[in-house]
Chain A
């Protein structure tokens, strides 16, 4: 036993010594004093002696770089003329390209996040519809991406951004500087851009233009997909396709040009002294209100679903088929919103772009207080913390903060979100019960009502601390709302609201009325009762499920199960 104990002690001692020696050897290997580390940092204001920046030696590089201190050195600066070696011009050019590269990558990743919001919209809308329409609703959300993208590539982008350049944070896009203007009331009014068709016209075959196109395209597609929710369960697929093409080519780009592409709304500050002109940081108005107001026009034209209203005009609740999809979709949308708002700086470096941290926090906060507002309203009014309206409250808060996210502080963001959460509940009730307009997912209220609220809130809560390159819409200084001393900004925002109601609604209504005359907007009553999956798409969304049959009571409208309003809400 003693021999065994001695052997055990010996083994432990040997292991301990091995550990000590191994650690010392490893430290010796991983912490060599490199020439790069030893190089003195150049003084900030002195001319750079680039030859003094000694690169790591070949021996150092051969050892690997576990600490990351020898990767990315003077060796990696691109040299224009190898015969001259590294010059000051090389380093300055590299610094400029690094800044633009950071902004490119930031804007692209933000655009990818916004693109992923399409999945969120698809889940929310499909979950809030009945199972018999799952394939049809999903396919509208799926193909709106393709229809919208195609129309935007052909002409939408040119109409929107063709006159708004150059875009300094992306290093130029200098070709996008041709805006068609009208002379009216003694002023020049930008109406639409004329450069950038097909992304090949003139100098639009350009890396900065491509980044801008991708980012703006996914915004446009968000506006288009809002409409599919309000028109769900009764919209002909062919009418949807034509309507989406028109909206991607004309409706959205025109308003977006007026707000973001150098058009007349953005010139209200320079032309008429109204604050900084219409200011919509990430699109409460441009994206969400345009989508929501188009949804209102289309819902009016389509009329309500069969069974939504009784003969006395009282509404029936038509619950959606999967609340799990709805709330999962809301989370995806909230995630994507971090691309929507912070990405709208089009930069992460320079021009005040580090405010992306503040913008991201504002986005989180407004979504949070939006869901608070909705859940509290529903809980107090109906005695239950309703799930679908909590989701809509989250989205309402996010919609409302989209325009002011770059201009307000966290208190403003929280208040804006809280009001949006209550507002969406009131608006859903108003639209359903007073207007008697059927909106299966609450898109009019979430995006239309709260998009307008977001636009107005810029004119109230903008605190004058933002600084995106020293000016906004050509007016120097920061955007300030009424509460921070600039009533003119509120007037500019309200003119934007008037334009959303006046132009966007009238244009959308007329365009969709025309489609109704040519191909018809609404499916037949038989198809609607059967569910649109088979008549419109040729396949069921859930082929293995047995769907509940419809019942038609004698002498009345068919009563079906299925909306955003739960059954206990229709009791009063």
Chain B
């Protein structure tokens, strides 16, 4: 799950970068950038963090 989390973080970064050439529309770029940031945040705060909390010290 940790690897999935990191992959999501990286994919989320590539989406806004790719958006630069996919479209010239500023609105479309804005939406894609926000989508990318959301994917990265999901990867960090949900997937990766959940993987770490699975074996948290306070659960033992």
Contact = CB atoms under 8 A, between A and B. Distances in A.
B13 to A, nearest CB: 2
Contact of B44 (A271, A274, A296): A296
Contact of B58 (A301, A309, A506): A309
Contacts of A490: 30
Contacts of A477: none
A185 B20 contact: yes
Interface in A474-502: 487-488, 490-491, 494-495, 497-499, 501-502
Given A311-B58, A437-B49, A509-B6, A498 B20 contact: no
Nearest to A495: B16
A491 B27 CA distance: 9
A386 B18 CA distance: 45
B53 A503 contact: no
Nearest to B16: A498
Interface residues of A, number: 38
A494 B20 CA distance: 12
B50 to A, nearest CB: 10
Interface centre among A272, A309, A501, A502 (most CB of B within 10 A): A502
Interface string B15-38: 111101100001001100110110
Interface string A500-543: 01110110011000000000000000000000000000000000
B60 to A, nearest CB: 9
A313 B9 contact: no
Contacts of B49: 300, 435-437
B33 A491 contact: yes
Contact of B56 (A272, A304, A488, A509): A304
A557 interface: yes
Interface string A290-329: 0000001000110110101111010000000000000000
A322 B49 CA distance: 31
Contact of B26 (A313, A435, A491): A491
A549 interface: no
A186 interface: yes
Contacts of A510: 6
B26 A498 contact: no
Contacts of B1: none
Contacts of A309: 56, 58
Contacts of A311: 58-59
A274 B30 CA distance: 11
Contacts of A310: 58
B57 A498 contact: no
A304 B49 CA distance: 12
Contacts of A499: 13
Contacts of B30: 487, 490-491, 494
Interface residues on B, range: 20 to 34
A505 B49 CA distance: 13
A467 B36 CA distance: 32
B40 A505 contact: yes
Nearest to A315: B58
A435 B45 contact: yes
A263 to B, nearest CB: 13
A494 B58 contact: no
B14 interface: yes
Given A488-B26, A510-B6, A502 B59 contact: no
A501 B37 contact: yes
B14 to A, nearest CB: 7
Given A308-B58, A490-B30, A502 B12 contact: yes
Interface in A245-298: 268, 271-272, 274, 296
Nearest to A312: B58
Nearest to A488: B26
Given A185-B20, A491-B33, A495-B16, A502 B53 contact: no
A473 to B, nearest CB: 15
B4 interface: no
A50 to B, nearest CB: 55
A490 B27 CA distance: 11
A352 B54 CA distance: 54
B44 A503 contact: no
Given A487-B30, A494-B30, A498-B40, A186 B21 contact: yes
A490 B29 CA distance: 11
A494 B32 CA distance: 10
Interface string A11-30: 00000000000000000000
A184 to B, nearest CB: 9
A491 B37 CA distance: 12
Interface in A383-428: none
A558 to B, nearest CB: 10
A487 B26 contact: yes
A491 B58 contact: no
B9 A498 contact: no
Which A-B residue pairs are the 9 nearest by beta carbons? A502-B13, A309-B58, A501-B40, A498-B16, A494-B33, A185-B21, A495-B16, A506-B9, A272-B20
25 contacts: A185-B18, A274-B20, A274-B29, A303-B56, A306-B57, A309-B58, A310-B58, A311-B58, A435-B49, A436-B53, A495-B16, A495-B33, A498-B16, A498-B17, A498-B33, A501-B9, A501-B13, A502-B10, A502-B13, A505-B9, A505-B40, A505-B44, A509-B48, A510-B6, A557-B57
Interface of A: 185-187, 268, 271-272, 274, 296, 300-301, 303-304, 306, 308-311, 313, 435-437, 487-488, 490-491, 494-495, 497-499, 501-503, 505-506, 509-510, 557
Given A498-B40, A502-B40, A510-B6, 18 more contacts: A271-B20, A300-B48, A303-B57, A308-B58, A309-B56, A309-B58, A494-B30, A494-B33, A495-B17, A498-B15, A498-B17, A501-B12, A501-B37, A502-B10, A502-B12, A502-B13, A505-B40, A506-B13
